[in-house]
Amino acid sequence: MTSPATVPTTARSNPALPEVALPEVAFSVLDSVPEDFNLLRHLLTEQSELTAVELFSNRHVEATHAGALYQALMPTSALQSGQQYAFEVDLDACSGCKACVVACHTLNGLDEQETWRKVGILNSTAVTLPIVQHVTTACHHCIDPGCLKGCPVLAYEKDAMTGIVRHLDDQCFGCKYCLMMCPYEVPQYNASLGIVRKCDMCAGRLEVGEAPACVQACPNSAIRISIVSAETSRPEDANKNDRLLDTAPLNRLTQPTTRYISNRRDIHSPSNEIFSRECAVDAVQPGHLPLVAMLVLTQASVGVWCVVATVLLLNLRSASSVFAASVFATLVGTIGVHAALLHLGRPWLAFRSILGWRRSWLSREAIAFGLYLSAAAIAIACCVFKELNSVATVAVCGTAFLGCLAVVCSAMIYIATRRELWSPARTSLEFVGTTLGLGLATTSLFTEGTAAAVMLLCGTAFCTSSLLPKLIDWRAALKPNLLWSDFSGRSGRLLRVDLRNAFSIVIGCLALGSCLSVALFFVSHTSLRVSIAIPAVVALLVSQLFTRWLYFASVVFARMPGAIA
């Protein structure tokens, strides 16, 4: 668009043309036009002027909005206690026009590609039952919102009156944990702002009696605002396996309030013949590199402290002799904890992360790692000062204990999402494997003799055990006719195709680590031992980094139709 500037009326007047002033035309446009090309000068000038509003319509100040149209889609009674607002979608009326999506984008002034409503599609493979069902979906303003439970900075609130789950944009520090905690993937990360934003059911509009943007904009009146109560919306005796729609996440995770209504028998087919794109094709998920570094390094650090504590408890060594390992572990742990800052959209607000300690495992993790590193400093001091050697064992054990607590918190962060591939068993196997594996392997560097070789070998074994879940998935992919609900098999398919290289690197590193740790038994020369042990530990570290990356990148879970934009 040209920048407005005033141009002096230098065009020679042509009697055939009406006299026009030349306002608001960039110099560049007219300057390039020869003075004797009058018609062009005139036309370019005309093009730069806009249709005068008053020429066409003097009613422009009275433009009306759709108020009267959508009154029938709004609640008719006031909210009683225990009730809340909810979206209600008439699937029979949803024809997939996606006006709701764009209206949400426009009427809420969202960023270029941002919209809080999405439309997914359900198809069928049943030859006798062809269906194409569009599904409009937004925030479900859950009774037990995952986003709110997970948020470490208390940036989510569930309005006591309306039940609307609101996000406090200025409180958010961009940890994106709500993206994992919401089974419907509703919160969206806005990279340019460094925060998450989400649907607020147009709370401001509802306050003044207007319908939310999507409700206003649906040509088919398919979306309405209804009043629900926890009991009627998601009764306790409901089937534990209920879902909003076939292939959607389980209701019991967060108790969504949206109701999808349809008289079409087809779309409630209990068979596996209904599918959405979300369950037919899997994409590699974000690998979260800062989190990978954070998890692996802190776990290695805690692992070392655990080994050191064991050594001290069993009186195998003196406190001062474990000094080097302890310092190294603390250093690694400190780096790990700070790597997490790179994950944040607004890292300078990291101090807020402890606010949610009552309900968020992420807050608890932050506190636990803080305590752990403090304890580590005390424990190191005890090892340094001979006078304190007597309490060193206690301090070291305390540090190891706090470290373990922190690792448990780390695990709970992902377990709390209740994704099947992040189950307690799988997550524990991975995290414990890394903690003990890298702990033993790292400590072996500070140990001599056969003990070092034994430690390294055990470390390799534990590191290998952390790959077990992914090996299971790798195998599961071989099953013929994978069902959409076979997340392990679908994850395995990702491992075999898109993530093949990463998976191979893990296997290679583990193999290298194993060979080197066995070799260590047969070598006695010190410098040669070092040149075997260090590569072995590095190989194990790399294997664990990639394993953790796969933990994120290869995760597959039940997704709401429309989750893939």
Partner 1 sequence: MIPSDVKTKRWPLPVLHQRTGKLTERLNRETSEIGLGSLPTRKLPDAVMKSVCGFCSTGCGLNIHLRDGVAISVTPDVEYPVNTGMACPKGWESLRVLDAPDRATTPLLRQANGDFQAISWQQATATFCDRFKSIQAEHGPESVAFLSTGQIATEEMFFLGCLTKFGMGIVHGDGNTRQCMATAAVAYKQSFGFDSPPFTYADLELSDVLVFVGANPCLAHPIIWQRVLQNRNNPVLIVIDPRKTETAMAANEHVALMPKSDLALLYGLAHLLIEAGAVDQDFVKAHTLGYEEFRRHVSTFDAQTVSQQTGISVEQLHRLVHLIAGGKRVSFWWTMGVNQSYQGVRTAQSIINLALLTGNIGRPGTGANSITGQSNAMGSRLFSNTTNLLGHRDFTSAEDRQCVAEILSIPVDRIPTKNSLAYDQIMAGIESGHIRGLWVIATNTAHSWIGSSRVRELLAKLDFLVVQDMYHSTDTARLADLVLPAAGWGEKEGTFINSERRVGTIKRASRAPGQALADFSILRLLADAWGCGELFSKWQRPVDVFGAMKQISAGRACDITGIEDYAMLDRCGGVQWPWTVSDAATLGVPPTHRRLFQDGRFYHSDGRARFIFIEPKAVPEPTCAEYPFVLLTGRGSVSQWHTETRTAKSPMLRQLSPAPSVEVNPSDAARLGISYGDLVEVVSRRGRAEVRAIVTSNVQPNQLFMAMHDLQTNLLTLESVDSESRQPCYKHCAVNLRRLKKESGVRYGCS
Which residues from 177-236 bind partner 1, rule CB under 8 A? 193, 195, 197, 202, 204-205, 208, 210, 216-221
Q: Which residues lie closer than 8 Å to 252 by C-beta, 6 or more apart?
A: 240, 242
Residue 20 as a binder of partner 1 (CB under 8 A): the answer is no
- 30 pairs with which residues across the strands? none
Residue of 123, 269, 310, 320 that binds partner 1 (CB under 8 A): 123
Per the CB < 8 A criterion, the answer to whether 403 and 306 are in contact is: yes
Using CA atoms, how far apart are residues 152 and 357, in angstroms rounded to an integer?
A: 7
Residue of 27, 161, 169, 425 that binds partner 1 (CB under 8 A): 169
Binding piece for partner 1, criterion CB under 8 A, among 177-185, 287-295, 351-359, 544-552: 351-359
Binding piece for partner 1, criterion CB under 8 A, among 109-117, 137-145, 228-236, 435-443: 109-117
Residue 491 as a binder of partner 1 (CB under 8 A): the answer is no
The DSSP 8-state label assigned to residue 83 in this structure reads E
Residue of 20, 154, 472, 538 that binds partner 1 (CB under 8 A): 154
- Minimum gap (Å) between residue 495 Cβ and partner 1: 10
Using CA atoms, how far apart are residues 176 and 194, in angstroms rounded to an integer?
A: 10
Comparison of 305 and 549: residue with beta carbon closer to partner 1: 549
Q: Which residues inside 392-431 make contact with partner 1, applying CB under 8 A? A: none
Using CA atoms, how far apart are residues 536 and 181, in angstroms rounded to an integer?
A: 37
Binding piece for partner 1, criterion CB under 8 A, among 110-118, 320-328, 397-405, 439-447: 110-118
Q: Which residues inside 83-102 make contact with partner 1, applying CB under 8 A? A: 92-93, 95-99, 101-102
Q: Which residues inside 239-258 make contact with partner 1, applying CB under 8 A? A: none
Per the CB < 8 A criterion, the answer to whether 129 and 266 are in contact is: yes
- Minimum gap (Å) between residue 86 Cβ and partner 1: 21
Half-sphere exposure of 6 (CA within 13 A, CB side): 2
Kindly state the helix (H) or strand (E) to which residue 454 belongs, with its residue range.
helix 449-465
Using CA atoms, how far apart are residues 553 and 181, in angstroms rounded to an integer?
A: 16
Residue 351 as a binder of partner 1 (CB under 8 A): the answer is yes
Using CA atoms, how far apart are residues 167 and 148, in angstroms rounded to an integer?
A: 9
Using CA atoms, how far apart are residues 100 and 87, in angstroms rounded to an integer?
A: 13
Task: Mark residues 438-477: x for contact with partner 1 by CB under 8 A, - for none.
Answer: ----------------------------------------
Residue 277 as a binder of partner 1 (CB under 8 A): the answer is yes
Dihedral Cα 20, 21, 22, 24, nearest 10 deg: -120
Do strands 188-190 and 195-197 pair parallel, antiparallel, or not at all (unpaired)?
antiparallel
- Minimum gap (Å) between residue 400 Cβ and partner 1: 32
Residue of 85, 87, 184, 275 that binds partner 1 (CB under 8 A): 275
- Minimum gap (Å) between residue 101 Cβ and partner 1: 6
Q: Which residues inside 42-81 make contact with partner 1, applying CB under 8 A? A: 43-44, 46-51, 53, 55-57, 60-67, 69
Count CB atoms within 10 A of the CB of residue 231: 11
Comparison of 7 and 376: residue with beta carbon closer to partner 1: 7
With vertex at residue 551, the alpha carbon angle to CA 533 and CA 465, rounded to the nearest 5 degrees, is 45
Task: Write out the E strands in 185-276.
Answer: 188-190, 195-197, 223-229, 259-261, 274-276
Residue of 14, 261, 264, 374 that binds partner 1 (CB under 8 A): 264
Residue 23 as a binder of partner 1 (CB under 8 A): the answer is no
Structure tokens given for 290: 């800062």
Per the CB < 8 A criterion, the answer to whether 561 and 278 are in contact is: yes
Residue of 22, 103, 135, 293 that binds partner 1 (CB under 8 A): 103
Using CA atoms, how far apart are residues 398 and 242, in angstroms rounded to an integer?
A: 45
- Minimum gap (Å) between residue 108 Cβ and partner 1: 6
Comparison of 5 and 313: residue with beta carbon closer to partner 1: 5
Using CA atoms, how far apart are residues 74 and 68, in angstroms rounded to an integer?
A: 11
Binding piece for partner 1, criterion CB under 8 A, among 80-88, 350-358, 431-439, 525-533: 350-358
Residue 360 as a binder of partner 1 (CB under 8 A): the answer is no
